[in-house]
Amino acid sequence: MTSEAAFSTVSSVATDGDGRYRGEIHPDWTIAGKPNGGYLLAMLGRAAASETAHPHVIAASAHYLRPPAPGPVEIETEVLRAGRTASQVRARLLQAGQPCIESLVTASRLSDDTKPYWSAPTPEPGVVPFEESFRLPPIAPTGLAVTIMGVVDCRIEPSSLGFARGEPSGKGELRGWLALPDGEPFDPNSLLYAVDAFPPATLDVEPTGWVPTLELTAYVRALPAPGPVRVLHQAHLVDDQRVNETCWVWDGTGRLVAHGTQLAGIRLG
């Protein structure tokens, strides 16, 4: 929980006043040297929520302009509306004065109720336990350095592992589990990372290189129970060198706690 690579540590931000924050992108939280987009959104979410009376990010959307490098970054925030039940904030991540990510954040207070009022029956989470799923190594089958997999415990169900043998199922779905370093419990900030933590769901269609996030939207729907979270990552359509994907995150009790959607760049065909 207190290791140098704890998510709460690597995503922490320090205020400089006037809505300005400083953070430090950790070199371990990268893919091919580029920081994970959800990790950066968590930094932005932390800074944004700090400007409000509301502790939990419930919706965050980001458009990615250019990837920052590991190292120091600045975050500029602007409170758009401070409401009774929710507040909205604009937050921009810069490196060496150059804008890298522009985001919008809605913060509120999630209740500590134990089950949702209503939820749809689909899509279903996976069925294979954490212990029987396979942890991804920090090198992809293509040879790409996925350094982040050395710090997080990202596990794929055997049925989704065809890509690792060169036999993708073609369905564009990856199912499995995610755990933070040293078993740190998930919270609304780390759920912003969780919706972008899995490899591209297109691996279950064809191998590719780096798949950069262009837009990422995350909804945090509930406070998660401690322990690893279940993840289903789905690709919907590959066209014009882009793919749209949905990511579903359930806590260990089977409750849907986060819902992410992203548009990413991809080179296939």
Q: One symbol per residue from 19 to 58: x for binding a copy of itself (CB under 8 A), - otherwise; what is it?
A: ---------------------------------------x
228-267 b/e (C-beta count within 10 Å ≥ 16 → b): bbbbbbbbeebeeeebbbbbbbbbeeebbbbbbbbebebe
Does residue number 239 form part of the binding site for a copy of itself (CB under 8 A)? Answer: yes
Does residue number 146 form part of the binding site for a copy of itself (CB under 8 A)? Answer: no
Stretch that binds a copy of itself, among 17-25, 30-38, 184-192, 254-262 (CB under 8 A): 254-262
Q: Where is 189: in which H helix or E strand?
A: helix 188-194
Q: Are strands 98-108 and 134-135 parallel, antiparallel or unpaired?
A: unpaired
Q: Which of residues 107-136 bind a copy of itself (CB under 8 A)?
A: 108, 110-111, 113, 116-121
Kindly state the smallest distance separating residue 254's Cβ from a copy of itself, in Å.
12
Residues 6+ apart with CB under 8 A from 56: 49, 107, 108, 109, 110, 188, 220, 223
Does residue number 222 form part of the binding site for a copy of itself (CB under 8 A)? Answer: yes
Stretch that binds a copy of itself, among 127-135, 140-148, 154-162, 235-243 (CB under 8 A): 235-243
Classify 260 as helix, strand or coil. strand
Q: Which of residues 148-207 bind a copy of itself (CB under 8 A)?
A: 171-173, 202, 205-206
DSSP 67: P
CB nearer a copy of itself, residue 50 or residue 261: 261
Kindly state the smallest distance separating residue 162's Cβ from a copy of itself, in Å.
15
The C-alpha atoms of residue 258 and residue 29 are separated, in whole angstroms, by 21
Contact 151, 9 (CB under 8 A): no
Does residue number 211 form part of the binding site for a copy of itself (CB under 8 A)? Answer: no
Q: Count of residues binding a copy of itself (CB under 8 A)?
A: 56
Contact 134, 158 (CB under 8 A): yes
Does residue number 215 form part of the binding site for a copy of itself (CB under 8 A)? Answer: yes
Contact 180, 152 (CB under 8 A): yes
Binding site for a copy of itself (CB under 8 A): 58-59, 61-63, 65-66, 80-81, 86, 88, 90, 99, 102-106, 108, 110-111, 113, 116-121, 171-173, 202, 205-206, 214-215, 217, 219, 221-222, 234-240, 242, 244, 246, 256, 259, 261, 263, 268-269
